[in-house]
Structure formats: structure tokens, C-alpha cells
């Protein structure tokens, strides 16, 4: 983990993601920018969590280490996902490994200081509740669709629910397609086959590690409301 001493860059990220709107007070003086290298651990499972983060650039993956020695990919993190939010209200020790999937920048707070700053802040708790509920709903939706629909529906739902909109584009960025296949419970080959089908139908454009939705209306025909 490396500290980035750049007030201008910090301010740029605050404005880009409208972070001040999450809190009742301006907490900029308590924020710091940190950078993680690709494959560097942001959190280690069973170690105490000392920071609360907003991911603002790059990406991370959440990994559950099983008792049999195997690892299971649980989810991806993207801008503006929170890291360490459960440790604010629950056990201060991380349950999962959180690993940067590429060079990743976060806005961080000392977690003990942060707890005091937000303990009576209704805006933050409303934001945390809404974000947690959305994440839970997305996970439940993926599991239900996986058991009842084709993989085309699973992939379309994942792309739609995890994409972000910026500069008139709706897209998923910084994707590791091997990890995505594992996350969605399919093979790398089958994922590529369905992606190619979506590209040929004009639903999406694939640029290296980025998926751009080129026809939202047609792709949403595969979207399932749960």
C-alpha cells in the first residue's frame, strides 16, 4: 500500500463520485489516497481491518478461503464500492481476502476515526443500507437466475447490474474473464462463446478488458426481474 500525496487528485475523485453527498459533514481532512499494485492484498482474511476505503479507480476481487485449502471468488469490487464497511459494525477482522485485480486507487479513512465520524450521520447510514441492499439483491438475483435460466440471461443480468455509466457510455471495465467465468459458474470457453454471440447480435462491444453496452434495449430483453 502506497500513500498518494496529491490534494488535487483527491479533490478530483471527491468531485467525480460526489463523495461529499454521502456524508452530513465535509470529511476531506480525514481522507487519504492510497494505491495498491496488481495482486496486492487490500485486506487479508483473519487480520484486523485498520482502514475503511472507497474504491475510486481500478478494481478488486473478494476471495473466500475454504477449510480444504481451496479459494472461491465471491465478487468483484468496482468504483465506488466500499471496502471495510462490514467491519465498522461487525467483527473488526476481515472474513475475506480482498485483492487488487489491477493497479487500484482508494480513498481511505482510519477505521477507528471513521467510526466516530459517522456514528450519528444519517446520510452515511442511509447510503450504507442502500448500497448493501443493492449488493445483496444482485447476488440473490444471480443465484436465482443461474438455477432457472440460460447462461445468456445470467451474463446479461450481470453486465446490466454491474455496469457504470460515464461520458455517455454504459460499461464494465477492468474485467478478468477467467475470474468472471468462475464467478458466474461457467467455463472460460463458454463465457467467450456467449460474449461472441452478444457481440455478433450488436448487444455489446468488447475492448480488451472492457465491455461496452452498445444496445441496452436488446440486451435488456435477457434481463430477468426477480
Give pLDDT tens digits for 164-196: 888 888 888 878 898 899 889 899 999 999 999
What is the structure's pLDDT at 224? 81
Domain ranges of the chain: 2-120, 149-222
- The answer to whether residue 225 scores a pLDDT higher than 80 is no
What is the structure's pLDDT at 89? 86
The band of 98, judged by pLDDT with boundaries at 50, 70 and 90, is very high
Listed residue (112, 101, 109) closest to 36, CA to CA: 101
- The answer to whether residue 30 scores a pLDDT higher than 90 is yes
Q: Got the DSSP string for 14-78?
A: HHHTTGGGGSSS--GGG-EEEEE-TT-EEE-TTSBP-EEEEEEES-EEEEEEPTTS-EEEEEEE-
What is the structure's pLDDT at 47? 95
What is the structure's pLDDT at 60? 93
**Which residues lie across from 97 on neighbouring strands?**
63
Lowest pLDDT segment from 120-124, 160-164, 190-194: 160-164
Quote the mean pLDDT of the chain.
92
The percent of residues in the chain predicted with pLDDT above 90, rounded, is 68
| CB-CB contact of 219 with 203 (8 Å) | yes
What is the structure's pLDDT at 38? 94
- The answer to whether residue 81 scores a pLDDT higher than 80 is yes
Alpha-carbon gap, residue 190 to 169, rounded angstroms:
26
The band of 161, judged by pLDDT with boundaries at 50, 70 and 90, is confident
What do you get for the CA distance between the two ends of the chain, in Å?
Answer: 39
- The answer to whether residue 132 scores a pLDDT higher than 80 is yes
- The answer to whether residue 208 scores a pLDDT higher than 90 is no
C-alpha cell at 120: 450519528
The band of 139, judged by pLDDT with boundaries at 50, 70 and 90, is confident
The band of 142, judged by pLDDT with boundaries at 50, 70 and 90, is confident
Yes or no: domain 2-120 corresponds to CATH 2.60.120.10? yes
Question: Could you read off the pLDDT of 40-59 as tens digits, one per residue?
Answer: 999 999 899 999 999 999 98
What is the structure's pLDDT at 90? 84
User: Could you tell me which CATH number the domain at 149-222 has?
Assistant: 1.10.10.10
Amino acid at each position: 500500500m502506497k500513500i498518494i500525496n496529491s490534494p488535487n487528485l483527491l479533490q478530483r475523485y471527491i468531485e467525480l463520485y460526489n463523495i461529499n453527498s454521502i456524508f452530513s459533514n465535509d470529511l476531506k481532512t480525514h481522507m487519504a489516497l492510497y494505491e495498491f499494485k496488481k495482486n496486492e492484498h487490500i485486506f487479508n482474511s483473519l487480520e484486523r481491518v485498520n482502514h475503511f476505503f472507497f474504491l475510486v479507480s481500478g478494481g478488486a476481487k473478494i476471495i473466500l478461503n475454504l477449510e480444504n485449502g481451496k479459494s472461491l471468488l465471491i465478487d468483484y469490487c468496482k468504483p465506488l464500492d466500499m471496502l471495510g464497511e462490514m467491519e465498522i459494525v461487525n467483527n473488526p477482522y476481515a472474513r475475506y481476502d480482498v485483492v487488487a485485480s489491477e493497479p487500484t486507487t482508494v480513498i481511505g479513512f482510519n477505521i477507528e476515526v471513521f467510526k466516530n465520524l459517522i456514528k450519528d450521520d444519517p446520510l452515511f447510514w442511509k447510503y450504507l443500507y442502500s448500497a448493501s441492499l443493492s449488493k445483496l439483491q444482485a447476488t440473490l438475483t444471480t443465484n436465482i437466475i443461474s438455477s432457472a435460466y440460460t447462461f445468456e440471461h445470467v451474463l446479461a443480468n450481470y453486465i446490466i447490474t454491474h455496469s457504470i455509466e460515464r461520458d455517455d457510455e454504459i460499461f464494465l471495465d477492468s474485467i478478468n474473464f477467467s475470474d468472471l467465468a468462475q464467478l458466474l459458474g461457467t467455463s472460460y470457453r463458454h463465457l467467450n462463446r456467449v460474449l461472441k454471440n452478444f457481440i455478433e447480435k450488436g448487444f455489446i462491444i468488447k475492448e480488451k478488458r472492457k465491455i461496452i453496452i452498445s444496445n441496452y434495449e436488446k440486451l435488456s430483453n435477457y434481463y430477468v426481474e426477480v
